[in-house]
């Protein structure tokens, strides 16, 4: 029997807007199994980033049940959620989320040691992503594509159980996007990692085990027809 890593049931999330509120997610169900990669597609503004931030504990749902790694996220204190993000959950944001005052190499070592691992071999991730030459540069000295690859290197170096990725190939050209995708899926297979990937890249989505579409605040199987 496959191990369930994420179990979400009837998740709801709204944001205040003046005297009213904007409902983003409602009745959302999600089961994610250990070792699989699942893509989430949908139009901009449909709530995909909100979903990622609920799963990593940066946001809390307004209603529903959310279990991650066997833990009820809605019952955890903020410091316990922060510990999950440091050690077991890697979130790959669109902007890279690198510490601007640290070099790329120091960002990598910092993320790895914060997750409880030694720094040995950390720079090998930069070599794997063909950005070893950027090791001593700071994030504002990198191109958008280099920042995205450096952020992925940091995420993988954490050796997390779960990777939540928001458009991981969004700033990359075709060649580097393919290289990053290959490394990404190789590591998932080799380490038994679990990944939830928000993307508009249908080639990336199709390489995942399942594709779900966020429609009207809930997830449904994606229509694989040519018109999708």
Cα–Cα distance, 122 to 225 (Å, whole number): 42
> Residue 225 pLDDT more than 70?
no
Give the per-residue pLDDT at 212: 97
Query: Where residue 2 falls among pLDDT bands split at 50, 70, 90?
Result: confident
Question: What rounded mean pLDDT belongs to the chain?
Answer: 89
Cα–Cα distance, 172 to 170 (Å, whole number): 6
Q: What is the DSSP letter of 218?
A: E
Give the per-residue pLDDT at 33: 93
Secondary structure of residue 228 in the 3-state scheme:
coil
> Residue 59 pLDDT more than 90?
yes
> Residue 29 pLDDT more than 90?
yes
Domains of the chain, with CATH numbers? 35-60+77-221 (3.40.50.300)
Give the per-residue pLDDT at 31: 96
Answer yes or no: are the C-beta atoms of 101 and 93 closer than 8 Å: no
Question: What contacts 19, CB < 8 A, 6 or more positions away?
Answer: none
175 phi, psi to nearest 5 deg: -65, -50
Mean pLDDT lowest among 82-91, 105-114, 122-131: 122-131
3 state SS for 121-170 = CCCHHHHHCCCHHHCCCCHHHCCHHHHHHHHHHHHHHCCCCEEEEECCCC
pTM of the model: 0.90
Give the per-residue pLDDT at 228: 46
Cα–Cα distance, 132 to 138 (Å, whole number): 13
Tell me the average pLDDT across 212-223. Answer: 92
Cα–Cα distance, 42 to 28 (Å, whole number): 14
Q: Helices (DSSP H) in the chain: which residue ranges? A: 48-55, 78-87, 104-114, 124-128, 144-157, 174-191, 202-206
What digits encode the pLDDT tens for the residues 153-211?
999 889 899 999 998 888 788 887 887 788 788 877 777 789 999 998 888 899 999 99
What digits encode the pLDDT tens for the residues 116-152?
998 887 778 888 888 899 999 999 999 888 888 899 8
Torsion region of 105: left, alpha or beta (phi above 0 gives left; psi -120 to 50 gives alpha): alpha
Cα–Cα distance, 3 to 199 (Å, whole number): 25
């Amino acid at each position: 029997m496959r191990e369930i890593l994420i179990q979400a049931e009837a998740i709801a999330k709204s944001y205040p807007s003046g005297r009213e509120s904007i409902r983003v997610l409602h009745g959302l169900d999600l089961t994610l199994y250990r070792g699989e990669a699942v893509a989430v597609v949908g139009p901009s503004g449909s709530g995909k980033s909100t979903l990622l931030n609920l799963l990593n504990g940066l946001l809390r749902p307004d209603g529903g049940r959310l279990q991650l790694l066997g833990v009820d996220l809605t019952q955890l204190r903020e410091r316990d959620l922060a510990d999950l993000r440091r050690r077991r959950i890697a979130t790959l944001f669109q902007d890279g989320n690198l510490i601007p005052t640290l070099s790329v190499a120091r960002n990598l070592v910092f993320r790895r040691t914060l997750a409880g691992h030694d720094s040995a071999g950390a720079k090998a991730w930069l070599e794997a992503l063909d950005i070893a030459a950027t090791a001593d540069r700071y994030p504002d000295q990198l191109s958008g594509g280099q920042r995205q690859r450096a952020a992925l290197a940091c995420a993988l170096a954490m050796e997390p159980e779960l990777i939540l990725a928001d458009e991981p190939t969004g700033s990359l050209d075709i060649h580097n996007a393919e290289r990053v995708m290959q490394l990404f899926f190789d590591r998932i297979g080799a380490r038994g990692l679990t990944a939830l990937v928000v993307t508009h890249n249908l080639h990336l989505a199709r390489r995942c085990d399942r594709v779900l579409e966020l429609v009207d605040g809930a997830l449904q199987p994606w229509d694989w027809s040519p018109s999708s």
